[in-house]
Amino acid sequence: MTEPVRVSYGELTKLLATIFRKHGCSEHVAAILAENMALAQGDGAHSHGVFRVAGNLGSLDTGWVDGTAVPIVEDVAPGFVRVDGNNGFAQPALLAARDLFVAKARTNGIALLAVRNSHHFGALWPDIEPFARDGLIALMMVNSMANVVPHGGNKRLYGTNPLGFAVPRPGTDPLVFDQASSTWSNGDVQIARREGRALPVGVGVDRNGQPTTDANAVLEGGALLPFGGHKGSAIAMMMEVMAAGLGGGDFSFEVDWSRHPGAATPRTAQTIILIDPGRGAPRDFSARIETLIAAIHDAGQDRLPGDRRYANRRDAHRDGIPLDPAVAARLRDLAAAEA
């Protein structure tokens, strides 16, 4: 295995922002995307870090996503904020609504944000972890593009539809999980294909609906399976309802980028629910969570969701973010290239 090169958060963010600007993003959007991607890379989220540069550029270069979009925030009810992403990336839309959304959650104890007409191509935890650091519980639901067959079905319908959940823990890192509702993320299957690795049995099917361990067969006409059979299939369905249905965006099976060959980002919807756990709580929420976590450890689960990412983050802050040398060179070339 090639020894990685190490780059600082500052250097990687600057490189990525330069690349996104050169491919049509405004300064503001480029900075947000770059920070999001550097954070993901630093946390060791390999399927949603710099691996996503090419897909983002494919969507920008073909005009499928608008890198200069200005989101429209709508204050629709005391506990409800909507955002029309204006065919831009989801992260700037979320940022545009953040202050109003948090204020509503603090006033009401709960609030919901529904973003539509927006492209989410990243990990969810960078969106929700900051809410938990501000003392709020965050639940995020996203739908993507059809590449998952529903349980017992025979064609692609759901996206890999991720679910993210973040819980504040005073004095320490929030408890966060962030997972696709499919067996594997599409990104991980692409990485397996690139590295020539076979998939475990039960991850996906080929174009005839037959089980396969061939990543290429899954990606070219085949499909991923929901995790846990009918249970994951129900979660994937819920993501379609809560993100696209509630938000007013496209379902994963409605994403049509046929006139934008090379586009890769799903134009769908994202929903976040924020809860202020201190509001009217009959027992001390923070103490209860620590009791739960102690019991989980006592039951033998040492590693909590998020532990791997936080450990990677500590290493990356100390030593730099590890990058494959060829990837680092490619990023530098892209940043230096003529616009």
- Based on CB atoms, which residue is closest to ligand PYC, 118 or 160? 160
Q: 13, 18, 36, 47: which one contacts ligand PYC (CB under 6 A)?
A: 47
From the list 43, 66, 188, 250, the catalytic residue is 188
> Could you confirm whether 144 is annotated as catalytic?
no
The site string for ligand NDP over 168-207 (x = CB under 6 A, - otherwise) reads ---------xxxx---xx--x-------------------
Q: 16, 45, 105, 111: which one contacts ligand NDP (CB under 6 A)?
A: 45
Q: 59, 117, 185, 252: which one contacts ligand PYC (CB under 6 A)?
A: 185
> Could you confirm whether 188 is annotated as catalytic?
yes
Q: 144, 181, 233, 270: which one contacts ligand PYC (CB under 6 A)?
A: 144
d(CA 100, CA 149): 37
Distances (CA, A) of 69 to 26, 62, 85, 92, 270: 8, 15, 7, 9, 17
Which residues are within 8 A (CB) of 83 and not within 5 positions of it... i.e. 6 or more apart?
Answer: 71, 72, 73, 74, 93, 94, 96, 97, 113, 114, 115, 116, 118
The site string for ligand NDP over 144-163 (x = CB under 6 A, - otherwise) reads x---------------x-x-
Q: What burial letters (b/e) apply to 286-315, b meaning 16+ CB within 10 Å?
A: beebeeebeeeeeeeeeeeebeebbebbee
> Could you confirm whether 297 is annotated as catalytic?
no
The site string for ligand NDP over 111-130 (x = CB under 6 A, - otherwise) reads ---------xxxxxx-----
Q: Count the residues of the shown chain that bind ligand NDP, applying the rule CB under 6 A.
A: 26
Report if residue 308 touches ligand NDP, rule: CB under 6 A: yes
Of 147, 164, 121, 154, the C-alpha closest to 271 is: 164
Which residues are within 8 A (CB) of 249 and not within 5 positions of it... i.e. 6 or more apart?
Answer: 115, 116, 117, 118, 143, 243, 267, 268, 269
Report if residue 186 touches ligand PYC, rule: CB under 6 A: yes
d(CA 179, CA 169): 20
The string of DSSP codes covering 67-90 is TT---EEEEEETTEEEEEEEEEEH
- Based on CB atoms, which residue is closest to ligand NDP, 60 or 123? 123
d(CA 126, CA 43): 10
- Based on CB atoms, which residue is closest to ligand PYC, 187 or 249? 187
d(CA 266, CA 87): 10
Report if residue 180 touches ligand PYC, rule: CB under 6 A: yes
* Piece of the chain touching ligand PYC by CB under 6 A; list 9-17, 77-85, 183-191, 212-220: 183-191
Contact 251, 240 (CB under 8 A): yes
Q: 121, 158, 251, 285: which one contacts ligand PYC (CB under 6 A)?
A: 121
Choosing among ligand PYC, ligand NDP, none, which partner's interface includes residue 156 (Cβ < 5 to 8 Å by kind)?
none
Burial of 79 (0-12, 13-18, 19+ CB in 10 A): middle
Q: Active-site positions? A: 47-48, 188
Chain contacts with ligand NDP (rule: CB under 6 A): 45, 47-48, 120-125, 142, 144, 160, 162, 177-180, 184-185, 188, 303, 305-309
Chain contacts with ligand PYC (rule: CB under 6 A): 47, 121, 144, 160, 180, 185-187, 266
